[in-house]
Amino acid sequence: MIVPRPFTPDAVAEAVAIVKSGGVVVIPTDTVYGIGCAFDNRNAIERIFALKRRDPAKSIAVLLSGIEQADRLAEFLPDAAKALAEKFWPGALTLIVRKKAGLPDNLAAGPTIGLRIPDHGLARELIRQSGPLATTSVNLSGQPAAVSSGEIPPDWDGKIDAVFDGGRIQGGKPSTVVDCSGSTLRILREGALTAETLGIF
């Protein structure tokens, strides 16, 4: 049986230790619950793909605590990406940019990577201490994302290292994904932020 632990300031140190030791954790964010691990741990990323039954051709986005962590993942941030980040980070916006060389191939199979700063103080503190977190929604691929710890797939029991419960997430919409890697901005998935809000048409 999966037994969630309250996601409190005291629990952050425990979560950091799990991530740094190569573990996989479930945490609340501002959008949905996420399952995450160290961005540079290939084996932990593989565990997440297996749990979600996720297509290996798909990439996993990375959560940051601040824009300064983007240097560890992005080749560079285009001006358009910086402008969106300045206006909408922290928040429900994932920016797709050219990835830096040397990242695990199962983190981002193609030439790009998705980055986001969540609007959730404890999640950001965890990431500040642990480093960027490869994170995807808690669900089996193709199913609705979890907005409470009680919606974790039952067959994940015994296969994740810890679940941190932050209560039910209001809204429950995933982040909006904007591709900033080309000459024009493209919305790949409209989520919590609309095209009108972002000013992208």
Give residue-wise pLDDT tens across range 157-197.
999 999 999 999 987 899 999 999 999 999 999 999 999 99
User: Nearest-5° angle of CA 92, CA 172, CA 70?
Assistant: 25
Distance CA 70, CA 64 (A): 7
Write down all domains in the chain, each with its CATH number in brackets.
Answer: 5-198 (3.90.870.10)
H helices present in the chain, as ranges:
9-20, 42-52, 79-88, 121-130, 195-198
- Contact at 8 Å (CB) between 36 and 63? yes
Structure-model confidence comparison of residues 57 and 38, the more confident one: 38
Looking at the DSSP assignment, which residues form a beta bridge with residue 135? 36, 61
Q: Is the pLDDT of residue 70 over 90?
A: yes
Residue 57: name the closest of 114, 132, 109 by CA.
Answer: 109
Q: Is the pLDDT of residue 71 over 80?
A: yes
pLDDT of residue 91: 97
Residue 118: name the closest of 48, 30, 197 by CA.
Answer: 30
pLDDT of residue 200: 85
Distance CA 139, CA 93 (A): 20
> Which two structure tokens, joined as six digits, stand for 64?
């940051």
pLDDT of residue 76: 95
> Which two structure tokens, joined as six digits, stand for 36?
């995450």
pLDDT of residue 201: 67
Q: Calculate mean pLDDT across residues 42-63.
A: 96
Q: Is the pLDDT of residue 16 over 80?
A: yes
Q: Is the pLDDT of residue 67 over 80?
A: yes
Q: Is the pLDDT of residue 119 over 80?
A: yes
Residue 95: name the closest of 86, 103, 104 by CA.
Answer: 86
Q: Is the pLDDT of residue 53 over 70?
A: yes
